[in-house]
Amino acid sequence: GDEVAWIAGAASPIGWSIRPTDPNDGDMIYFSGPTRVYVSPCVAERALGGKPALQVDVAKREVRLSFRAPAGEGCAEMSPVCGLEGSFGQLAAGPWVFVCKQSGIDVSIPFTVTTVTSRTVYYVDRRAKGSQNGTSWTDAFTDLQSALAAAPSFCEIRVARGTYRPDSWSDLYPGDQTSTFKLKTGVTLKGGFAGVGSSNPNQRDVLVHETVLSGDLLGNDDASVIRSRLVGHASRADNCHHVVTAVNTSSTAVLDGFTIQGGHAFGSSSPGASTYGGGLYIDGASPVIRNCLIAGNAAAFYGGGIYCRGDCAPTFIDCVLADNWSAWRGGGMYKDWGSRVTMERCLISNNSTVYDGGGIANHTEGELVLSNCILSGNLCTGLDSGRGGAIYCSFAQVTLNHCTLAGNFATFGAGLACASSNEPGSSDVDVRNSIIWDLGDSLWIGDSSIVQIAYSDVQGGWSGQGNLDADPRFVDAGRWDDRSTPREPTDDTWFDGDYRLAWDSPCVDAGDPSESLVPNAKDFGGRSRRSGVAVDMGAYEQRNEPPIADAGPDVAGFSIDGVSGDVTLDAGRSLDPEGQALTYRWYRDGRLVSSQQRFTTTLPVGEYAFTLIVNDGIRDSAPDEVIAGVWPIIPTVAGVSPSTIDRKKPAQALIAMLMLPSGRRATDFNLAEPMLLFPGAVAATKQTTMVWMNGAVYAIARFEMPQVLDALTTDGQVELRLVGALKDDRYFSGTDTVTIK
């Protein structure tokens, strides 16, 4: 059914999204996205106009998220929320849009629902116990190779959570290191399904229901092995050379929602196919790889994670290429001979090689196009020879737009290096709207390459229009731990960071002001690319969210004289999503009454509305209202002990009894608000209630004697007034006398 709920906490999703992104008419579709951070669902619903609700408009093909009165209750509770998530479906085939047009939320996500019956769907689940013909989840294939063998063109293969190995098929010898999952033209592979045993086996979440394609044929990989010792390590000796292979396929070959790990391209001691591309080997193919994690793969020569060559144009969208290693070039990827590789919103992190291109090696007559990508913590371990910590380019083209290169390292060109084995050689490098901020000299040009950089922040500086050389002020930059072996980088550990821009970053609104954005252009996190006067530099678009005013729960005070009393208002729960200092404005009847976070004011008996607005130095918050009431006390009977206090030999504490008003029960007493003793407004340190023999209910409180004597400055007979609170915001009070000597 159609459901929507608040996301608890303050760590909101980066952007609005639906999953799956290309649903079928049999799919349940899940959505999530950020709102401002509110202190509770009740406060959020009051700010947005009511409870969140979904409406499916079949005529307009819209799924609308809206807010309908009344709002929830419990606004006094501290239970922060930061976004919304839910599900809807199943929907008829055709174009749809998920939309929300609300104050503070402006979302429009177009998507297309395809008909399951318009193409064959095969199912794979290693836990299936049925006939294993792939026609349903119950009768699913238990290995992916069987499904690939049966799959005709224009079909979809759905794979449930679990680990699948390419040798687990009856027609192959178990342990065959040449076994690989071969992508096919016209076949879409989707991982991340709940599968057998779930109430909805078609539920898809690639993080929750991880689907792993593993080259570890015996399941014995030792994850603790450092990079330089992968060659010949016993735990990797059984691994296949390429986990996934794409040869001469078109862009209709799709791999979506898988983890690819454990590939070990060490099939020969000489350069060749069996020593390239441990995770994914592409030759003359143009597959679309989406929502995949390619990690923990290795190669003897080129492309620990990915190797790509020939007349082809593979596309990677929303992928992670991490923790891969090669012993020669291209720790993460090696792109070779004429291929054009496009990567959009991808993370290339903590890959390493010995010589060239810790992250990516781009070689010979091809083009590498990266948009809204992050390359972080990539490493060339050759201390005397490493070139291009993030990217190495030789006789090829590189285009970077809205990318962040950070924490990469190589002796020559921590971020990017260009070199050619035969002079005069050159590459063409075009960098725009990017940040290159690495460990050491970010750029190194060792040939005749043409490097054009504009509207970018480059450590050490680079000539070009709109360029900066200034700390980009990341929210939390990544860092290396060299384990006290600075001359042995192969054992270093990379801790990745948060490369969003701080509110005062010089890279905010510093991108190309004339950049023409495609419709619905998104940053690395999936948010709208332009949020200010110009685009930002780097992979993330910084968004200054307005601060959140929280005037606190309604408050009450008491009046002893029946005319006026004091109340204290506190905005301490107000917050700014970016953590900036706030200023405060309190209004009553449209008039500014205080600019303090917390203040006390005297009011006549009655109820009054106060409005709070906070500002983060850039934007005002939405107003928040609190009601303050002052009520006459209800007179009752009080008693204190001891009745005589000797300043030289005082008792440790003063014990007070205050009878609750007639008709009130012990449960009506507000234990959370300390009883007060006047003069001095001394607060009780302990309090409880008891029922007397005659049925009267008393509140009993302990006051520490040093505090009492500090408040009683004169000796002799002194009248003490006790004030207690009831849960309905009324107060009761009585007096007794003591003698001070």
Average pLDDT over residues 579-585: 91
Q: Same structural domain for residues 608 and 658?
A: no
DSSP label of 673 = S
Q: Same structural domain for residues 573 and 619?
A: yes
Average pLDDT over residues 437-446: 91
Residue 37 domain-assigned (yes or no): yes
Residue 76 domain-assigned (yes or no): yes
With a cut of 90, say whether residue 174 has pLDDT above it: no
pLDDT tens per residue, range 631-653: 999 999 999 999 999 998 888 89
Tell me what pLDDT residue 449 has.
94
Q: Same structural domain for residues 610 and 681?
A: no
With a cut of 80, say whether residue 248 has pLDDT above it: yes
Give the whole-number percent of the chain exceeding pLDDT 70: 96
Q: Same structural domain for residues 618 and 687?
A: no
Our CA angle for 535, 540, 542, nearest 5°, is 65
DSSP label of 711 = H
Q: Same structural domain for residues 618 and 578?
A: yes
Tell me what pLDDT residue 121 has.
93
With a cut of 80, say whether residue 422 has pLDDT above it: no
Nearest to 398 by CA among 436, 353, 350, 424: 436
**Out of 186-200, 479-493, 703-717, 718-732, least confident range:** 479-493
**Out of 24-33, 382-391, 606-615, 673-682, least confident range:** 24-33
Tell me what pLDDT residue 2 has.
67
**Out of 135-139, 325-329, 518-522, least confident range:** 518-522
Residue 600, C-beta contacts closer than 8 angstroms, at least 6 positions apart: 566, 567, 568, 569
Residue 595 domain-assigned (yes or no): yes
Dihedral angle over CA of 255, 388, 459, 490, nearest 10:
90
Tell me what pLDDT residue 26 has.
75
With a cut of 70, say whether residue 629 has pLDDT above it: yes
pLDDT tens per residue, range 306-346: 999 998 999 999 999 999 999 999 999 999 988 899 999 99
pLDDT tens per residue, range 66-100: 998 877 665 666 678 889 999 898 899 999 999 99
**Out of 94-108, 630-644, 710-724, least confident range:** 94-108
pLDDT tens per residue, range 442-461: 999 999 999 999 999 999 99
Average pLDDT over residues 696-710: 95
Dihedral angle over CA of 474, 475, 478, 481, nearest 10:
120
- Distance, CA of 82 to CA of 33 (rounded, Å): 9
* Chain center to CA of 217: 34
Tell me what pLDDT residue 267 has.
87
As for how many domains the chain has, the answer is: 3
Residue 101 domain-assigned (yes or no): yes
**Out of 221-225, 293-297, 332-336, least confident range:** 221-225
Query: Which element (helix H / strand E) includes 188?
Result: strand 187-193
Q: How confident is the model at residue 116 (pLDDT cuts 50, 70, 90)?
A: low
Range of the domain at 562: 555-632
pLDDT tens per residue, range 360-386: 999 988 899 999 999 999 999 988 889
Q: Same structural domain for residues 620 and 640?
A: no
- Its pTM surpasses 0.75: no
Residue 38 domain-assigned (yes or no): yes
With a cut of 60, say whether residue 171 has pLDDT above it: no
Strand order in the sheet with 583-588: 555-559, 624-632, 606-615, 583-588, 591-594
- Cα distance between the two ends of the chain: 75
With a cut of 90, say whether residue 13 has pLDDT above it: no
Tell me what pLDDT residue 649 has.
86
Q: Which of 69, 84, 116 is the C-terminal boundary of a domain?
A: 116
Pairing of strands 155-160, 187-193: parallel
With a cut of 60, say whether residue 1 has pLDDT above it: no
Cβ-contact 231, 266 below 8 angstroms: yes
Q: Same structural domain for residues 58 and 91?
A: yes
The amino acid at residue 147 is A
Tell me what pLDDT residue 337 has.
85
With a cut of 60, say whether residue 103 has pLDDT above it: yes
Q: Same structural domain for residues 95 and 23?
A: yes
With a cut of 60, say whether residue 201 has pLDDT above it: yes
Q: Give 138 or 19, the one with higher predicted confidence.
A: 138
Average pLDDT over residues 20-48: 84
With a cut of 90, say whether residue 168 has pLDDT above it: no
Q: Which of 57, 91, 116 is the C-terminal boundary of a domain?
A: 116
- Distance, CA of 722 to CA of 724 (rounded, Å): 7
Tell me what pLDDT residue 651 has.
85
Give the whole-number percent of the chain exceeding pLDDT 90: 70
Residue 107 domain-assigned (yes or no): yes
Residue 717 domain-assigned (yes or no): yes
Q: How confident is the model at residue 419 (pLDDT cuts 50, 70, 90)?
A: very high
Sign of torsion, CA 207 211 212 218? positive
Q: Which of 600, 632, 664 is the C-terminal boundary of a domain?
A: 632
Average pLDDT over residues 96-109: 87
Q: Same structural domain for residues 734 and 640?
A: yes
Q: How confident is the model at residue 105 (pLDDT cuts 50, 70, 90)?
A: confident
Report the mean per-residue pLDDT for the chain: 91
Which CATH number goes with the domain that contains 611? 2.60.40.10
Q: Same structural domain for residues 621 and 688?
A: no
Q: Same structural domain for residues 698 and 668?
A: yes
Which CATH number goes with the domain that contains 678? 2.60.40
Residue 587 domain-assigned (yes or no): yes
**Out of 69-78, 254-263, 505-514, least confident range:** 69-78
Average pLDDT over residues 208-216: 96
Q: Same structural domain for residues 674 and 581?
A: no
- Distance, CA of 363 to CA of 356 (rounded, Å): 10
Using DSSP's 3-state secondary structure scheme, residue 35 falls into strand
